Amino acid sequence: MTSTNEHTEVTGEVEAQIRAIRKTIGEQWSEILSATLLAVVAIGTAWSGYQSAQWGGHQVDTV
């Protein structure tokens, strides 16, 4: 049989491992979210540049 101290140590170790796993999962989601946001911003910037090149001052000619 295990004593209360041994049980407490094992329980504490398991809880520490669970916290570490949760932190790792949280960090992974944070990185995924950051990469996705960066990709959206990059696409938006490229689209903005494309649209700017398409206009090329045509708006001034029509006024």
Quote the number of domains for the chain: 1
User: 18: pLDDT confidence band, cut at 50, 70 and 90?
Assistant: confident
- Residues spanned by the domain of 48: 4-62
Q: Does the structure show a pLDDT above 70 at 38?
A: yes
Q: Quick check: helix, strand or coil at residue 22? A: helix
- 50: amino acid identity, one letter: Y
Return the percent helix, strand and coil in the chain, to nearest 5.
Answer: 90, 0, 10
Q: Does the structure show a pLDDT above 90 at 28?
A: no
